[in-house]
Structure 1
Amino acid sequence: MKCYIILVLLLVLGLCHADLPPKIEKCTAGDVDCIAKLLPFILKNYANGIPEIGLPNIEKLSLNNVVITRVNGQSPVSLNLEFKKMYLHGISNSTVERLVGFEKDLLKSKFEAYVTIPNLVVDGEYESSGKVLILPMDATGYAKILLKNTKLSMKMKADEEWRDGKQYMKIKAMKCKLMPELMHVKFENLFNGNKELGASLNELINDNWKTLWSDMEPQVNDAVMKIVKHLLESVLQVLPYEDFYRKD
């Protein structure tokens, strides 16, 4: 029992002294141009994660039981669509277009990010019932949704938590909005595996993707927000806020 307690204490002390890898050159708080260049560098070069600071594998992000659409009598897409487990890929290739805030004073600072993701992929096992336009879509199987050149805007409200004399950032509220230039879907096992009919339905959806997107946008925004929030919180609970920035 004593050994177990010592091991836990060592782990906690290790986390308390965790820091960004030396190859990551920190920016001054509030220098949004510097931070905007640094974030893509981290995403691309550390896509597999940084365990020391709690950063998970960026290309293996997931969320369970995600409802994408619900039957809506006012929409031509009257569909129940749910992912048992939704995976998100492509964030590591993001480009940061603009940042707002990221100031030294955590409680007074804004936190806004405007990002472009060339190929954002949502995939996983799905269940659906209902119809798309005039065709039924009662199926289960694997689905892949590709969002091309997606503009992602994120806004956060921050709170603080003090531990051992250090200030840590907590996410009080967060909003994400996705605006894809194009959406392309591929649902497998439609019409009990009839490939010809399945291809026709996929083509119909892709030709009318904006109609489907208008129905699924709020749920996808919410799912992406939850995934990104979990990603950020994994790091924020390990690194004190001041340790994200270069010392004055």
Structure 2
Amino acid sequence: MGRFCVTVLLLLVAGFATHAAKLPSTFKRCHKSDPKFDDCLVVNIEDAIHQLKNGAPELGLDSFEPLLISELVIGEGSGPVNVQQNFKNVKLHGLTGSKVLSQKASLDQNMLFAQSVTPMLRLEADYDMKGRVLLLPVFGNGPCNVTLVNTKINHTLIGEPFERKGRTFLKWVDYKVTLRPEIVKFHFANLFNGDDRLGNEINRVINENWDAVFTDVRDGYEKSFGLIFKDLANRVFTRVPLKDIFLETKLVWNPITNIKEKIRANLGLHIAMKSLHLAVLSFLCFANARKLPPTFKKCNVNANLNQCLAEAIPDAIRQLKTPMRKIGLPSLQPLVIPEMTIAPGDGLLGFYQNYTNLRVGGFDKISCHKVDMNLESKILTMSCASPQLRADFDYYFNGSISILPIYGDGNGSIVLDNVKCLHTFYMKQYQKKEKTHFRVTNSTLDVNPQHVTLQFNNLYNGDKFLESNLNVVMNENWREVYQELKPLLEEGFTRVFAALFDSVLRRVPVSDLFEGYQDAQL
């Protein structure tokens, strides 16, 4: 990858303001409580970008058409481009013509993810370079033009909030971009000290091999543009309080919403429980006591309780082909989860993962070889297995896996074969209407498959060659991929299963769960 440095002395503004500013009155804003918040941002961000063609005096920003950059240095690559490109007096045209394709805000994690396309991104500058391109010696200085056509750009922003004079602002500390142009056109004038014949030939060779040339120095361009965009974004976010960018809406307190937000806050990932078909939050219903369905096998506390539970639990799961709403259980064939989001990790999986419409199947094949229900300590431990668990979903990715960029949205699947699970529930007792109930206070889950198969369709916006190769790489390294996903997936599913079990416990008294149970035992 190309080494790089960039001096982003944007001539449009100098230094950060220490006083709060306001967004231009023509900038439209979105309410965080709007269920279509992300869609609103797509429209309003694009509109704001178009308006910046005329600048934003309220924020001290001059026109973005062109965007002026004092100096830009793209280091030599590790492949065909063994030359450092030094650009001065840079004029960047075309940014205000960008169209925002999609946007995902994770404000509780201070993160934004977006996809955009810029029809024509043209860099005009004075250049100076010396080295080799495609093994050909090249040197010169003078005016140049680098044009990226129909460039799809993935943006990943990570911020840190800070307080100033009692108001909360946000500083973007990391802004990563990936650039995927349809074609790149280069023209360097005055190569070889003005030898037109050699200069024209080098320009021709570079343009005929633009893909190899740009790919080799792409890293430098991406990091440079990331620094430029971060600087521009911070001109707004470090000046304008967050409450004036993302509007707050006062709502009547809703306990279900509050619980859902606590769940999200406690996870490196967050699980969107809204409209959750599996009624994960139904434990807030304090309805009359219920009984287990008559088809569920009941076990006696005085007669091989654990052996009986090892048979009864899988049998009950197999019966959940349809929901049993009276005891708060959804269908598990498949288990439906509307959304699951995983933030970028620090290791191999450095990309944002958003999964929607998850359908997890294979629970009907579960068997439990060991169950231990300790009524005294109120701890249930289950060692179970399934020949296969399969999740089908729609996904959105943006970031990198190892050193490879990854982005795209489409459908996919993750298949776990010969899965062994160890699930432990920790409970406490309480009384309700003169009946003893348990409630789940904590749980842990350990999931270990013998093999994992991953398939993601439409990666790289449908580029079949790149999609196929990345799927191959992930499956060849499935152990490393799964080890990074494992704690996040376990955390999410632990909470789902704990809420499901808790929903049953809060409805069904302990005496109706186990035959021969007496309150005096506890």
Normalised-by-shorter TM-score class = 0.7 to 0.9
Instruction: Note the residue ranges of structure 2 that are not aligned, 5 or more in a row.
Output: 1-16, 250-522
Change (3 A) 1:94 1:102: farther
Q: Normalising by structure 1, what TM-score?
A: 0.85
- Aligned residue for 1:94? 98
Which residue of the partner structure matches residue 66 of structure 1? 72
**Aligned partners of 2:77 and 2:217 also within 8 Å:** no
Per mean C-alpha deviation after superposition, the further-off stretch among 211-220 and 51-60 is: 51-60
Letter in 1 for 2:102: R
**Structure 1: gaps spanning 5 or more residues:** 1-10
Partner of residue 78 from structure 1, selected from 64, 76, 82? 82
Identify if the C-alpha distance between structure 1 residues 207 and 149 changes in structure 2 by more than 3 Å, giving closer, same or farther.
same
What is the aligned partner in structure 2 of residue 35 from structure 1?
A: 41
TM-superposed CA distance for 1:114, in Å, is 0.9
TM-score, normalised on structure 2? Answer: 0.42
More helix by share: 1
Report if the CA contact (8 A) 1:85-1:125 is conserved.
Answer: yes
1:169 is the counterpart of 2:175: no
CA RMSD of aligned residues (A): 2.0
Partner of 2:228: 227
Report the equivalent of 1:178: 179
Spell out, residue by residue over 1:98-132, the C-alpha distance to the aligned partner (whole angstroms, 9 max, x if none). Answer: 111153x4xx2431111111111122111111122
| Contact preservation (8 Å) 2:153, 2:177 | yes
In terms of Rg, which structure is larger? Answer: 2
Between the aligned partners of 2:38 and 2:62, the Cα distance in structure 1 is: 24
Mark the CA change 1:155 to 1:141 in structure 2 (over 3 Å): closer, same or farther. same
Listed as ranges, the matches of 1:75-154 within 5 Å are 75-101=79-105, 103=107, 105=108, 108-154=109-155
Q: CA separation in 1, counterparts of 2:82 and 2:218?
A: 15
Distance verdict in 2 for CA 1:65–1:19, change over 3 Å: closer
| 1:128-170 residue CA offsets vs partner (Å, 9 max, x unmatched) | 1112224321101111100001111111111111112110001
Opposite residue 113 of structure 1, the aligned amino acid is A
Greater Cα shift, 38-47 or 216-225? 38-47
Q: Which residue identity lines up with residue 246 of structure 1 in the other structure?
A: L
Percent of residue pairs bearing the same amino acid type? 29
- Distance of aligned partners of 1:21 and 1:163 in 2 relative to their CA distance in 1, 3 Å threshold: same
1:184-211, Cα deviation, whole Å (9 max, x unpaired) = 0110101221223322211111100011
- Determine which structure has greater relative contact order: mean sequence separation of CA pairs < 8 Å that are 6+ residues apart, divided by chain length: 1
- Cα deviation for residue 24 of structure 1 reads 2.5
Matched residue type, 1:100: K
CA contact (8 A) 1:47 1:58 kept: yes
Q: Structure 1 CA distance, aligned partners of 2:67 and 2:141? A: 22
Partner of 2:28: 25
